[in-house]
Chain A
Amino acid sequence: MSEKTSILVIGGGIAGIQASLDLAGRGFQVYLLEETPTIGGRMAQLDKTFPTMDCSICILAPKMMECFRHSNIKLLTYGELKEIKGSVGNFHVKILQKPRYVDQTKCTGCGACAEHCPIEVPNEFDMELGMRKAIYMPMPQAVPRCMTVDKENCIECKLCTKMCQAGAVDFQQQPQEVDLNVGVVIIATGFNQYDPSEIVEYGYKKQRNVLTALEFERWVCASGPVGGHLLRPADGGIPKKIAFIQCVGSRGSKFGAPFCSSVCCMYATKEALIIREHAPDVSVYIFYNELRAFGKGFQEFVNRAREDYGVNYIRSRPGEIREDPKTKSLTIWYDDTFTREIKSLCDVDLVVLCAALIPRESNKKLAEITGIELDECGFFKVTHPLMAPVDSTVPGIYVCGYCQSPKDIPDSVAQASAAAARAAEALALVQAQRTGDGA
């Protein structure tokens, strides 16, 4: 078997991390490409995970560190794929690494530079609810633990250069092209959240007590913008009533995506539990269409939320969320599908829109570069949805995680290992062919 063959993994979320660890663990050289300054992906942004209520970053961070330390994994963060040529067993890849303007070999991530940086901009990691500096680390557990200068917002006052005692800030850095020869490629680019502002009835971005689910994850997270306190975004007041609305931009033809995102019923239930654990006097309502609790232990989790935690589930798709201009509190108008009456839920302090999770826009470019096909929704196509769930339309390129179709973390992790197995299998078959051993 040809060990020390190289493999490129695109996407540093939990799926890309798992695929990398599996393959590096058996002796392949893995290049893990990530477009942002840190690996970790969406899972790093989550507060807790269902149905075990594990702290998300607490179970993810050790895996991120394992990638960083692994002698067979080279992290290519803050980079993008430029070109790919060749075929299975022999791909030539060009990657462009953007300059961080910080020397990764010298930076210890102490943060002295950021402390003195005068420029504040909204932090993408906190879904722009909190601020970061122009020289920054996206999150405390970032891997690699290295600062990055956001050149778009930097005013080049060079205070950071002066403050850095390690001498790591380097404004002379240039973009770097990295050429690689790899045997196979695994793609795990994850998802984005649909922006529900076009659904004007819900008033997202206009009514400040309306958040999306990913925003809410950061909002209640201890490492988030308000230190994990449960507050009304509009005025910092203490909430008494919080509501979740499911299928915002999902399962519809009018807005957003036609498909079901597969995870929203469960994460809403989890967030409801977080609220009730945090503040037992806050009442929680989940407006749903169909409660999809189909995974292992999920229905039991919903039962627990309903019976032990008193979460209220209402079967309805609300028509409107209206803000009281004075109090900024919200009224939700909905029709009760059981009683067939138009009802309202008043004095709601915070509404969480469980917006569709959609494939990344950048998948199109990736498809163009690699030659693999996308389906009509923008997910990567597989050659057979049942028999070949991770094989893209180009031999030697595998896909896993949400970018292949909506799925939760365990299914993404399983698929990541599946992609790793297919990669190892393909390389073994190529090797056998070369040596004339018909495996």
Chain B
Amino acid sequence: MIMEQQPKEKARIGVFICHCGINIGGVVNVPHVVKYVKTLPNVTYAEDNMYTCSAEGIDKIKAAIKEHNLNRVVVASCTPRTHEPLFRGACADAGVNPYLFELANIREHCSWVHMREPEKATEKAKDIVRMAVARASFLKAQEESEVAVDPTALVIGGGISGLTSALCLANQGFKVYLVEKEPELGGMLRKIFKLYPTNEEAQRILEASINTVMSHKNINTLTNTSIKSVDGYIGNFEVTALKDSEEKKFKAGTVIIATGAVEFKPVGLFGYDKYDKVLTQVDLERVLQTGKSAMNKFFKPQRVAMIQCVGAREEKPPRAYCSRICCMVAVKNAMLIKEWYPDSAVYILYQDMQTYGKDYEDLHRKARDAGIIFINYAKQTPPEVMPLPDNRLRLTVYHALLGEKRDLDCDLIVLSTPLVQQETAEELSKILKVPLGQDKFFLEAHVKLRPVDFATDGIYVCGTAHGPKDIGESISQAYAVSSRAGGPMANRKVRTEAITAVVDPDRCVGCRMCEKLCPFGAHRIEEGKSTVIDALCKGCGVCAAACLRRAITMRHFTDDQIMAEVKTAFLTEAPKPPKAPTV
């Protein structure tokens, strides 16, 4: 195990024990604990405070450090979650490295949970402080450092999410490489006719975005281009792209995945590959795109039925999810057909109408007012399609709410199928070392609070690559990644944690266990040995726990520090000075 060399000096520990008003002092006999602490090895000074965290308490810590030449500080009070930064700051102000500070929690871990047993609580408080003091003797100074960040973003995918994100970042003054695998920008929106709920033509919106992006001096657009490899880490990615089978290399500080999704092709479902009058919603969009007069040549629909949840909300992953947008897509297209062909009958066969929120509920209502007929079918009794001699299709559906079977003889059946992940996503997830979920969409760092981040810093996701969503939601996320990636790029640097893993190369055999387990992609194997990228390591310790060769040490949580604490926890008599108090 690596022992960092530091000047040897005897530990001189100051201990500050807080009453926290009555929170601790009302249960624990604080003066008694102070008296006890003074007998512990390496403790140079001890006192109690009414509120150690008050301005007065902080000043007292600083003064004691100076007066007693302290080189370690222990505060016995509340939780490090809220107060450790404050006390570390006080140490730093008085010239003691903040990592030579230790907090003993005698409130949440003691007085609050043992408020009816003051004597036992006092004994426990003594144990907790003794453990903290033992650990403090072994603490070492640590430094936080910085990594420079190249203010250039790589945006992968030139659909509406990628376009929006590229433009927002470029307007903030960052350089952007926008990479699109197709010959043209635009992605899924290219295939769409009109957008809900505003009923605008998708192409008009798209053209405006593309023109602004193409003319922006900060954006370098690469079409017909795929990503071959991405090495490095936040601030310092080295990208190799393939444009028309020619390699292009460039550097980027951040990477944004905006690769979108594709429509599920319902092969073998509801006669999709048997009858030409069975389309998906995207097939229908393309017919609608040609305009009403062109469509008239194709046919004039008399009776149209749309079936929801085709290939979605299945029993098992990967397509167990609801695709979020299909109900609105169906409602929008049903209303359009009704508008073009007022005499036609348009049906939507649904399980649950997912017209959530403010605008979509309204859209749903308008569709009903416009005469669209909604039929509820249960998942267990899906509709069936049979061909009729006159080239029409008979759809037999059990109306779950009316409790009766109905035959609908249709001249067009439209299947609402879910958005699914791109085939290329698997490869991209390997190149960038970021995960996919059970549904095959990119899996964010935290479903609730980090919706567009990955656990690995410097890589972000937006739009339908993250999961099905509509244009407004995709654009919200596209802006969101522009903020998340914009932060480190605006600062031109990121701070690295002081508490990181250190690999002893003499012990490491390059088994790759650490690389495989690290949730943050911080371990890289170079020349048969693992190395840690400090900028990515969060100090979680998974690698150190798993390393069979015991080649990995966690800074600030070394074995000797933890063992000193553990050993002293089980002491029954007065402690003797630890063997190696001077480190």
Seen from chain A, the residues whose Cβ lies within 8 Å of a Cβ on chain B are: 1, 3, 14, 18, 22-23, 25-27, 49, 51-52, 54, 59-63, 65, 69, 105-106, 108, 110-112, 115, 145, 165-166, 251, 258-260, 262, 290-300, 303, 337-340, 375, 377, 379, 384-390, 405-407, 409-411, 413-422, 424-425, 428-429, 432, 439
Contacts and interface: CB of A to CB of B under 8 A. Distances in A.
Interface stretch (B124-132, B481-489, B519-527): B481-489
B250 interface: no
Given A115-B22, A297-B447, A413-B451, A1 B361 contact: no
Nearest to B441: A296
20 contacts: A1-B173, A25-B487, A26-B486, A59-B449, A112-B21, A258-B362, A259-B362, A290-B352, A292-B352, A294-B324, A303-B320, A386-B471, A405-B357, A418-B476, A418-B483, A421-B168, A421-B172, A421-B480, A421-B486, A425-B482
A63 to B, nearest CB: 7
B491 A27 contact: yes
B22 A385 contact: no
B355 to A, nearest CB: 7
Interface in B129-176: 168, 171-173
A22 B472 contact: no
B162 to A, nearest CB: 14
Interface string B245-282: 00000000000000000000000000000000000000
A377 B476 contact: no
B173 A49 contact: no
Interface stretch (B37-45, B49-57, B407-415, B540-548): B49-57
B322 interface: yes
B172 A428 contact: yes
B577 interface: no
B401 A338 contact: yes
Contact of A165 (B50, B85, B168, B354): B50
B458 interface: no
B424 interface: no
B356 A260 contact: yes
B561 interface: no
A42 to B, nearest CB: 14
Nearest to A1: B173
Contacts of B195: 386
A222 to B, nearest CB: 13
B22 A110 contact: yes
A323 to B, nearest CB: 30
Contacts of A294: 322, 324, 354, 356
Contact of B358 (A61, A111, A405): A405
B115 to A, nearest CB: 13
Contacts of A295: 324, 467
B451 A410 contact: yes
Given A27-B491, A262-B357, A69 B85 contact: yes
Interface string B457-481: 0000000001100111101111111
B472 A338 contact: no
Chain B contact patch, size range: 35 or more
Contact of B352 (A27, A291, A384, A390): A291
A296 B467 contact: yes
B487 A413 contact: no
A115 B478 CA distance: 49
A390 B486 contact: no
A379 B357 CA distance: 11
Contact of B198 (A385, A409, A419, A422): A385
A389 B357 contact: no
Given A300-B320, A386-B205, A424 B490 contact: yes
B576 interface: no
Contacts of B81: 61-62, 65
Contacts of B352: 290-293
Nearest to B52: A108
Interface in B351-388: 352-362, 365, 378
A26 to B, nearest CB: 4
Which of A290, A429, A432 has the most C-beta atoms of chain B within 10 angstroms of its own C-beta? A290
A392 to B, nearest CB: 14
A439 B438 CA distance: 42
Given A262-B356, A291-B352, A26 B476 contact: no
Contact of A293 (B85, B198, B322): B322
Which of A112, A303, A410 has the most C-beta atoms of chain B within 10 angstroms of its own C-beta? A410
A257 to B, nearest CB: 9
Interface string B62-86: 0000000000000000000110010
A177 B438 CA distance: 53
Interface of B: 20-23, 50-51, 53-55, 81-82, 85, 168, 171-173, 195, 197-198, 200, 205, 218, 313, 315, 317, 320-322, 324, 352-362, 365, 378, 400-401, 403, 437-439, 441, 446-452, 466-467, 470-473, 475-484, 486-487, 490-491
A14 B313 CA distance: 30
Contacts of B473: 389, 411
Contacts of A385: 197-198, 359, 472
B449 A409 contact: yes
Contacts of A166: 21, 50-51, 54
Given A290-B354, A424-B483, A49 B448 contact: yes
A411 B451 CA distance: 8
Contact of B357 (A259, A417, A419): A259
A385 B451 CA distance: 20
Contacts of B450: 413
Contacts of A61: 81
Given A409-B448, A413-B449, A65 B82 contact: yes
Contacts of A420: 483
A23 B448 CA distance: 20
Given A294-B354, A386-B200, A439-B171, 17 more contacts: A1-B172, A23-B483, A27-B491, A62-B81, A106-B54, A259-B357, A297-B439, A298-B321, A300-B320, A338-B401, A387-B472, A405-B359, A413-B450, A416-B480, A421-B172, A421-B486, A432-B173
A299 B320 contact: yes
A1 to B, nearest CB: 6
A415 B403 contact: no
Nearest to B484: A417
A290 B171 contact: no
A303 to B, nearest CB: 7
Given A22-B484, A110-B21, A390 B50 contact: no
Given A298-B322, A421-B486, A429 B361 contact: no
Contact of A421 (B21, B400, B401, B483): B483
Contacts of B82: 65, 145
A110 B378 CA distance: 57
Which of A105, A406, A410, A421 has the most C-beta atoms of chain B within 10 angstroms of its own C-beta? A421
A188 to B, nearest CB: 13
